Amino acid sequence: MDNILEVSNVSKKFKDFTLNDISFNLKSGYIMGFIGPNGAGKSTTIKLIMNLLKMDSGYVKVFGKDSIKDEVEIKERIGFVYDEVSFYEYLKIKEVKNIVAPFYKQWDENKFKTFCSDFGLNEKKKIKELSKGMKMKFSLTLALSHNADFIIMDEPTSGLDPVSRREVLDLFQDIIQDENKSILFSSHITSDLERIADYITFINKGSIVFSESKDDVLDKYIVIKGNKEMLNNQNRRLILGIEESSFGFTGLMNNKDEVLKVFGNDVIIEKPTLEDIMVYTNKKR
């Protein structure tokens, strides 16, 4: 199956941060979760994909086309939801829609009205009257109403209550039933990604840590717990990230056989969450 997104050896240098030669791909028909701590480079990467920043080196292809040379054609087919929802606050929902819709050849008015109804959006309300969650739902509605084949979202569920988040996640899963569509979904709410993502790309300090199938990631890593007396300089080096307290230690490893060889049955072994992997990798010594 063809890649809907190809990021290859992309770099971007700022005064106090560098995106280091990052590469990852996303195939059609899948959802990719994009994770990393604050300042890791997630938003910078998304802006480079959208050609909102100029990259220093490398290239991005979307639908097999160059993200810079074919920008207009590509953006016709992308739905973009950014974490900072910024519309002119004194306009009504309907007025904003009337401004946005003419930019897209595939705008579907019936879809727009259906999403407004499903999300409880009143077209006569002004943007300033919407909560953060409702503003995000409105952004999603605009992004999904022009039959986009690739949805890019930066923290789209961060302002939503649990019920609304579940509705939005279910909607994302419905979207990718069409195998020609894909979603790149940046989020700090890793439980959302565990629920719907097919692939996980983890970025930290401007570099890609991994970009793999979610199931492979969760199968590869393990959390171990034990007494501090079990730790020494040699086995500490085998632990990817560790947290110690007066009661013991908790650490992350990526080789179960190595755990049994080094610690035997004296440690507790648990399956990690994506949050565990992100947190303990960030604690790497």
- Same-domain pairing of 63 and 201: yes
pLDDT digit string, tens, across residues 168-194: 888 888 888 878 889 999 988 888 899
Q: Which of 172, 194, 212 is the last residue of a domain?
A: 212
Instruction: Indicate whether 83 and 143 sit together in one domain.
Output: yes
Longest Cα–Cα distance of the chain, Å, equals: 67
Residue 76 pLDDT exceeds 70? yes
Residue with tokens 């990631």: 217
Indicate whether 100 and 16 sit together in one domain: yes
What is the tens place of the pLDDT at every residue in 203-245? 999 999 999 999 999 998 999 998 988 888 888 888 888 998 8
Give the rounded percent of residues in the chain with a pLDDT score beyond 90. Answer: 52
Bin 64: left if φ > 0, else alpha if -120 < ψ < 50, else beta: left
Cβ neighbours of residue 264 under 8 Å, at least 6 residues apart?
A: none
Total domains, the chain: 2
Domain that holds residue 122: 3-212
The gap from C-alpha 240 to its chain's centroid, in whole angstroms, comes to: 23
- 276 in the same domain as 161: no
Query: In the prediction, which pLDDT does 85 show?
Result: 63
84: confidence class by pLDDT, cuts 50, 70, 90: low
Backbone torsions φ then ψ of 278, nearest 5 degrees: -65, -45
Give the whole-angstrom CA distance, residue 50 versus residue 75: 8
| pLDDT-derived band at 266, boundaries 50, 70, 90 | confident
Residue with tokens 């028909």: 29
pLDDT of residue 285: 46
Residue 182 sits in the same domain as residue 229: no
pLDDT at residue 284 tops 80: no
Residues 166 and 99 reside in one and the same domain: yes
* For range 130-142, the mean pLDDT: 85
The residue out of 179, 212, 245 marking a domain boundary is 212
- Give me the CATH number covering residue 100: 3.40.50.300
Asked if 55 and 48 count as a contact pair (C-beta separation under 8 A), the reply is: yes
The separation between CA 121 and the C-alpha centre of its own chain, rounded to angstroms, equals 25
pLDDT value of position 264:
81
Same domain, 56 and 118: yes
- Alpha carbons 9 and 190: distance in angstroms, whole number: 26
Least confident among 3-12, 156-165, 168-177, 184-193: 156-165
- From 182, 212, 242, the end of a domain falls on 212
Tens of pLDDT, residues 21-75: 999 999 999 999 999 988 889 989 999 999 999 999 999 999 999 999 999 999 9
Indicate whether 187 and 278 sit together in one domain: no
The verdict on 112 and 249 lying in the same domain is: no
Say whether both 242 and 168 belong to one domain: no
Mean pLDDT, range 91-105, rounded to an integer? 93
- Same domain membership, residue 196 and residue 237: no
Q: Are residues 276 and 136 part of one domain?
A: no
Categorise residue 51: left if φ over 0, alpha if ψ from -120 to 50, beta otherwise: left
Q: Which of 158, 207, 212, 197 is nearest to 40 (CA)?
A: 207
Kindly tell me if the per-residue pLDDT of 166 is higher than 50.
yes
